[in-house]
Every structure is written in C-alpha cells, then in structure tokens.
C-alpha cells in the first residue's frame, strides 16, 4: 500500500492555509465549515489556484514552491480534478469532454487513440450511449459520471473530487454515492473528496481530514472521530452526543 503526504501552504489575500496530512490508497474525506479552506486545498494541489506564496507537495514530489521558482504545470501533475459543478464544457459533446485532457500538453495522443480511450472509459461507467450528446442536455447524475470519466481517462496518480454529490437530489445522491464508492474502490489510487455529508464518508470508507481556519484540527477514521471529536463542528458533523 502506498503512503503519501500532502503539504499545502498558501497565502493569498485573506486566505491563509498551512495544511499537512497523510494518506494511503484508501479515500480521504476533507471536511470542515464553510470558508475553512477545503476547496482551496484541492485547487492548490491541482494547480488551478493562482498564488504568490505557496508550497505544495504530494509525497516526494514538489508541485509548487514559489520561493524556489518551482511550478509543475497543471496538465503535467497527473491529477484528476472534478470541481464543484463538474466543470464540463457546454459547447462540446460528452465524448469531446472526455477526450479533452488527452488533446493537450504531454497527455496529447493521436485522435483515434483519444477516441478509443474515451469511449472505453465511458463504457466502463455505463455512459457510452451518451457519447454524442450535448452536455447541456444531461441530468445531474449523468454530468457527474462524465466529469469522473474525464478525470479517470487520464490515469491520474491522485483523484480530487470537490463536493461531487452536493447538487443532486436525495434519491439520486444515494444511488450515486454507491456508484462513487465502487469507482473509488476500483481506482485503487489515492483520492481526496470534499464533502459536507457524513453519509458520504461512511459510504466511501474514507479517513477524515478536518479543517478549520485553514489548519488541520483532526485526522482519523470516522469511528475515532465519533468517539472523540476535537471540535464542536466535528461533533455536529458526525452526530456525536
């Protein structure tokens, strides 16, 4: 089992993050109050957060160190990132969205190979029939699957999911929670999921990393945090007495 550590130090205006946490091949769930820095941590790791003062490492790899002039381009980080709202391109078809990451930078491959890999990933997610559809005409659940396909087709070393179930109704959320748990198990690589729902944590079998005010306040399995939550927010989050 691969162990790894994430370090994110970012100062940008009022944003002050100094976060270090460890993981392995099991999913991690990043939780915390609004404004605690959860989305900023993911954006910093993915390389889509513009910063002047930052250091971001995953394992032994330095992704960004502004003091040393180091910045690995976003497309070279081998990171799959599904942002809030899924970040799909409305003017492209489903297939073109999934192919997109294989058409730029070092990931660029021949068009026929792009299509083959994208269609294969859509098939694995039971979405091949949507390949020619416009993204604008997809349901919330379909968009979630397409966004996940677009990330997984890149064969990422780390998968980042920012509230992937938040915009869905309760019935669809339950169904896609099971689907997401299955996909992360099959992925067998490290993943970090931002969530506001303890049921997501339980379904994914995830370790919790809790942030407050840009700092890690507790990390551990759900059972441990239910027994001894470190803060009032965590006590409410896990439903502790």
Q: pLDDT tens digit string along 146-187?
A: 999 999 998 898 999 999 888 777 887 888 888 889 888 888
Q: In the prediction, which pLDDT does 240 show?
A: 66
Tell me the C-alpha distance between 136 and 3, whole Å.
39
Concatenating the DSSP letter of every residue in the chain gives ---EEEEEEEEETTEEEEEEEEE-SS-EEEE-STTSSHHHHHHHHHT-S--SEEEEEETTEEEEEGGGTEE--GGGS-EEEE-TT----TTSBHHHHHHGGGSSGGG---HHHHHHHHHHHHHHTT-GGGTTSBGGG--HHHHHHHHHHHHHTT--SEEEEESTTTTS-HHHHHHHHHHHHHHHHHH-S-EEEE-S-HHHHHHHTPEEEEEETTEEEEEEEHHHHHHS-SSHHHHHHHT--
In the prediction, which pLDDT does 157 show? 86
Sign of the torsion angle spanned by Cα atoms 231, 234, 240, 241: positive
Pairing mode, strands 70-71 and 79-82: unpaired
Q: Regarding the domain with residue range 1-78+158-241, which homologous superfamily does it belong to in the CATH classification?
A: P-loop containing nucleotide triphosphate hydrolases (3.40.50.300)
Whole-angstrom distance, CA of residue 25 vs CA of residue 140: 28
Angle at 17 between CA 215 and CA 154, to 5 degrees: 105
Mean pLDDT, rounded, for 2-24: 87
pTM of the model: 0.90
The full set of domain ranges for the chain reads: 1-78+158-241, 87-156
Q: What is the pLDDT of residue 70?
A: 94
- End-to-end Cα, the chain, rounded Å: 35
Question: In this model, does residue 140 exceed pLDDT 90?
Answer: no
More confident residue, 238 or 1: 238
Own/partner contacts of 234-240, CB < 8 Å, gap of 24 or more, are 234/31, 234/210, 237/31, 237/198, 237/210, 238/198, 239/198
CB atoms inside a 10 Å sphere around CB 240: 12
Residue 59 has pLDDT above 90, yes or no: no
What is the percent of the chain with per-residue pLDDT over 70, rounded to a whole number? 98
Q: CA dist 125 to 170, 177, 183, 215, Å?
A: 21, 14, 9, 36
Would you place residue 2 in the very low, low, confident or very high pLDDT band (cuts 50, 70, 90)? low
């Amino acid at each position: 089992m691969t162990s790894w550590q994430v370090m994110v130090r970012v100062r940008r205006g009022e944003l002050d993050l100094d976060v270090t946490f460890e993981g392995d091949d099991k999913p991690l769930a990043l939780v915390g109050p609004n404004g605690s820095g959860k989305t900023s941590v993911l954006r910093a790791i993915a390389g889509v957060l513009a910063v002047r003062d930052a250091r971001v490492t995953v394992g032994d790899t330095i992704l960004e160190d502004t003091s040393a002039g180091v910045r690995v381009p976003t497309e070279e980080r081998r990171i799959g990132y599904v942002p809030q709202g899924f970040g799909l391109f409305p003017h492209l078809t489903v297939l073109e969205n999934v192919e997109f990451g294989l058409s730029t930078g070092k990931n660029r491959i021949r068009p026929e190979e792009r299509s083959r890999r994208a269609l294969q990933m859509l098939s694995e997610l039971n979405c091949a029939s949507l390949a020619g559809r416009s993204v604008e005409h997809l349901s919330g659940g379909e968009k979630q699957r397409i966004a996940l396909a677009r990330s997984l087709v890149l064969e990422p070393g780390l998968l980042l999911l920012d509230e992937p179930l938040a915009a869905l109704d309760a019935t669809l959320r339950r169904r896609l929670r099971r689907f997401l748990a299955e996909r992360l198990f099959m992925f067998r690589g490290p993943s970090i999921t931002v969530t506001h729902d303890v049921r997501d944590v339980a379904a994914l079998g995830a370790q919790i990393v809790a942030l407050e005010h840009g700092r890690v306040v507790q990390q551990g399995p759900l059972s441990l945090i239910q027994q001894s939550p470190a803060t009032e927010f965590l006590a409410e989050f896990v439903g502790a007495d």
